[in-house]
Structure formats: structure tokens, C-alpha cells
Homo-oligomer: A and B are copies of this chain.
Amino acid sequence: MRSVTSIDVAKLAGVSQSAVSRAFSSSASISDRTRQKVLAAAAALGYRPNRIPSIMLSGRSCMVGVVIGGLDNPFYASALERLAIALRQAELQVLLVQVDDALTLDTALDQLASYRIDAIVTSLAVGSKSVADALSELQTPVICFNSSLVGPWISTVVSNNYGAGQTAAGIFLKQGVTNPVWLAGPAKNAASRARAEGFCDTLKRASGHSGALIKLRGDDTYQSGYNAVRRLLQRGVRPDGIFSSNDMMACGVLDALRERGELHCPDDVIVVGYDNIPQAAWHGYDLTSFDQRTDQMVAVAMDMLDTALQTVDHPYSETRLINAQLIERGSTRPGN
């Protein structure tokens, strides 16, 4: 079934092909009479303008490659949703690429490049040098969320992870925490490392906590947070403050505490997470957390994207920092 073309419409309407084109373009000079004729013919034939040829002519596809992974984390799912909305409003299409590892990323990039996407947006937490190189090679603007990637075509909007770490430490100091625990995410996660630095630096500077700080390693999943605290308690350690690199793990932490029953949050131990996922607000957790303000981050990303798309031909690179917002909930309010 050959689809209906502008030639067909032109023939039926008794006008030229260019008239059809103009009828569907808002910024063209065409008489109302002609436009009506064209639209009527188009409707009769069920014609829909085909954007593919115009991509060839303009070199711009108005498609943006969105590279994601880990949608099981509600934070990324929600970020994707907001981003998709923003891109739609900017009249850009989303070419979605799901990636679990660097390998799939490589082939995915080839695919994206062959579709002549105008830019790439990614929230991948990974930040290896090779990935950055692969991205730069595309000569296509790349906007990252929370990554440590650097390169000529790469721009980044990052949450102020270090600052949030400091704020978390401030809470711990104010509440007189003496046995703090840091629950880290994967080692390769740059955001997690920055949170750790802000947290540890501040605690260290404030007093003799330096030696006391216990560092656990998780992988950003609920189960890893649960396991980490379970093991800690089994070893007989009694922390009175836990800062988790993300909310998923923090939920695991809270469940492990509750199940074990020795230490109660927030009276015996306070807990702080990161991301402010919906579950943090659930009554069963009531978790203090840092909101990354994805709406702001997305807005900034769109702004950068705008600039990058105008500065075509020239590698554009910028980094912008967004302060996370502390959302205090019950998990840091003892005596309630």
C-alpha cells in the first residue's frame, strides 16, 4: 500500500505540489482559498505529511536520543517521564535507547547516529572515559544528568551532591550522632562518590568522628540496603545515624531496622536518603531525603539543549549545578 503523497493531494486539489507543502506549513504565504482546497483534498485522501524527506533536506531530524537504564528505580522513571514531557513541549521526538552496560551503549550509539538524531540526553550514572570518547566521536550534542563525563560535545547538569552531603552531615552533627554510617552506591557512580565526600569531609572537620565513620557499600538497590544493615546489626554494631546514597537502599535500611527491632528509627537511629522517590513519602517509611528537583534539572537540560541545537557545528560544553532540596521527614525527627 503506497501511502498517499503530496502529489496525490495536489492532483485532486488541482494545485501544484508546492501548494500542498505550503498548506501544511504555518510560515508560508498561501491564500486561504488554496489552503482550504488542499486541506479538503488531503482529508479526503487521508494524507499525512511525511517528515522523513524534510529530514534529508534540513539535516535535522528533530529527534533526540534518550539513553536510559535502571527504570526499576522510581527516580529514573520519574526523571524520564518529566524529560519526555519537556521534549514533547519543545516539539522534539524521543528516540529511546535502553542500556544495561557499556556494550549495548556502543551499538546503541551507532543506531542513534544512523537515524541522524539532533542530540543525546542521558541519565546514565556510568562515567567511564571510553563512553565519553564514544559520545564525543558522534559530533552530536550530549546532555548528561548527574554524570562526571567530560568532553567537547558533552554538557552536564548535576545535583549539588557534595553540598547535599555536607547538609546531611550537618543534620547528624546537630542531632549528636556519634556512630555515623555511610551507605555508598556503586563505586563507579560519580554522584554517590561526591555525596560521600561532602558528608565525610564535614564530619571529619567537625570533630573526632573521622575514625568512627563506618562505610558500607551497596549497589543502589533496596535489597543491598537491607542486607548491609542486617549484617551490620548482626555484627553487633549499633549506629545512631545512617546516610544512604539513595532512597531505594534507605528503604531497605529502614525495613532491616524495623524487622530486627533492636534499634528504632528515628529515636535510636536517624536515617537520611537521596532522590526523594515517592516511596520516601509513604507512611511506612517517612524518610528524610534530598530532592534533586528533577523539574529544575530538566528545565536546565532543555535550556542547554536549546543552546546546543543552535550552536550546531561547534562543540558546546557546559556544566550546571542544581542544589538539592532537603525534605525533612520523620526519619530524622526523634521524640515524635
Binding site for B on A (CB under 8 A): 1-3, 46, 48-53, 55-56, 59, 61, 63, 66, 71-72, 74, 77-78, 80-81, 84-85, 88, 93-98, 100, 104, 108, 110-111, 113-116, 137, 139, 222, 226, 251-252, 254-256, 258-259, 278-279, 282-285, 312-313
Contact assessment for A52 and B116 in the assembled complex, using a CB-CB cutoff below 8 Å? yes
CA of A80 to CA of B74, assembled, Å: 13
Q: Which residues of B contact A110 (CB under 8 A)?
A: 48
- The residue that A222 contacts in the complex, of B108, B222, B278, with Cβ under 8 A, is B278
Q: Which residues of B contact A222 (CB under 8 A)?
A: 278, 282
Instruction: State whether A56 and B56 are in contact (beta carbons under 8 Å apart), knowing that A85-B98, A95-B94, A283-B256 are contacts in the complex.
Output: yes
Q: How far does the Cβ of A32 sit from chain B's closest Cβ, in whole Å?
A: 22
CA of A59 to CA of B279, assembled, Å: 45
A sample of 20 more A-B contacts (CB under 8 A), given A53-B56, A88-B97, is A3-B116, A46-B137, A46-B139, A50-B116, A51-B115, A52-B115, A63-B115, A66-B96, A71-B71, A74-B74, A74-B77, A77-B77, A88-B108, A96-B96, A222-B278, A226-B283, A255-B284, A258-B283, A258-B284, A279-B279
Instruction: State whether A284 and B111 are in contact (beta carbons under 8 Å apart), knowing that A52-B116, A77-B74, A313-B1 are contacts in the complex.
Output: no
Q: How far does the Cβ of A90 sit from chain B's closest Cβ, in whole Å?
A: 12
Q: How far does the Cβ of A333 sit from chain B's closest Cβ, in whole Å?
A: 16
Q: Which residues of B contact A116 (CB under 8 A)?
A: 3, 50-52
Contact assessment for B95 and A93 in the assembled complex, using a CB-CB cutoff below 8 Å? yes
Q: Which residues of B contact A84 (CB under 8 A)?
A: 96-98
Contact assessment for A278 and B72 in the assembled complex, using a CB-CB cutoff below 8 Å? yes
**Considering only CB atoms, which chain B residue lies closest to A110 in the complex?**
B48
Q: How far does the Cβ of A232 sit from chain B's closest Cβ, in whole Å?
A: 16
**Considering only CB atoms, which chain B residue lies closest to A48 in the complex?**
B113
Contact assessment for B80 and A93 in the assembled complex, using a CB-CB cutoff below 8 Å? no
Q: Which residues of B contact A55 (CB under 8 A)?
A: 52
Closest 6 CB pairs of A and B: A84-B98, A77-B77, A94-B96, A255-B283, A71-B81, A96-B96
CA of A98 to CA of B82, assembled, Å: 9
Q: How far does the Cβ of A169 sit from chain B's closest Cβ, in whole Å?
A: 27
CA of A279 to CA of B74, assembled, Å: 11
Contact assessment for A114 and B50 in the assembled complex, using a CB-CB cutoff below 8 Å? yes
Q: How far does the Cβ of A55 sit from chain B's closest Cβ, in whole Å?
A: 5
CA of A256 to CA of B282, assembled, Å: 10
Contact assessment for A312 and B1 in the assembled complex, using a CB-CB cutoff below 8 Å? yes
Contact assessment for B66 and A77 in the assembled complex, using a CB-CB cutoff below 8 Å? no
Q: Which residues of B contact A226 (CB under 8 A)?
A: 283
- The residue that A255 contacts in the complex, of B71, B72, B282, with Cβ under 8 A, is B282
Which of A74, A110, A113 lies at the interface centre, i.e. has the most chain B CB atoms within 10 A of its CB? A74
CA of A293 to CA of B252, assembled, Å: 25
Q: How far does the Cβ of A121 sit from chain B's closest Cβ, in whole Å?
A: 12
Contact assessment for B139 and A1 in the assembled complex, using a CB-CB cutoff below 8 Å? yes
Contact assessment for B77 and A72 in the assembled complex, using a CB-CB cutoff below 8 Å? yes
